[in-house]
Structure 1
């Protein structure tokens, strides 16, 4: 994958992001200080933002424009991350439950055959 295709590669400077989103650089520094996003730093110590972080900042700008405080925005973002993780865990558990159910069904079929025939399968299975 080329660097410009990876949404997590930090390519954009504070000035570029400020211009893209029509915000002040001080706003971006405040978002960073509150750890709503954590841009990487260049060798010279300048912040570099990825496209993923820019999308998050765009959400922050929208919420701020709606009158939310930065601490409230940060909490909302934290809760959204927690919700994403809970959904991921739920999906993993659901997949495992489906596997267990399939295993159970297979064992139930084998047991039923075993009980009907009075012994182990003649196919070599037990």
Structure 2
């Protein structure tokens, strides 16, 4: 999200005008936790562009007949979805990086451990020599 949209610049009267609401409505929404403007100089509310967009969304939902408690729940769920989408994106990037690292590491390594405790590195597809009782351990790496 653009940081400029998050910068608190509008006093309550300007934000109310931009959102086409009464300033007292904005105060009520602040008390309910629907919108949380920044505080400048201790008490004076300052609204960002994002806050004004949120006020418009609240107004739209309210006109559609959703109660304020319902709106609060809708907004909480939307925030949760956004956080989960961001986490999915992070995890997808991590999986991509791990897959790239795995592919660049080359083929998986194969080892054989004999009954006497000796460990021999083998190439993929190679078997221990003779009729050995060796235990073969293979770490597959798919591409």
Whether these two folds match at TM > 0.5 is: yes
1:100-119 to 2 correspondence within 5 Å?
Answer: 100-109=98-107, 111=109, 115=123
The residue that corresponds to 1:20 in the other structure is 18
Question: Which residue does the alignment assign to 2:137?
Answer: none
Q: Which has the higher helix share?
A: 1
Q: Which residues in structure 2 correspond to 1:21-100 (within 5 Å)?
A: 21-43=19-41, 45-100=43-98
Greater shift in the superposed pair: 5-14 or 84-93: 5-14
Structure 1 stretches of 4+ moved >3 Å: 108-112
Q: TM-score, normalised by structure 1?
A: 0.77
Q: Secondary structure at the match of 2:6?
A: coil
- Number of equivalenced pairs: 112
Task: Point out where structure 2 has 5 or more consecutive residues left out of the alignment.
Answer: 111-121, 127-143
Unmatched 5+ residue regions in structure 1?
A: 119-126
TM-score (norm 2): 0.69
Quote the RMSD (CA, aligned, Å).
Answer: 2.2
| Structure with bigger RCO (C-alpha 8 Å, 6+ apart) | 1
Deviations 1:56-78 (A, max 9, x none): 11111111111111111111111
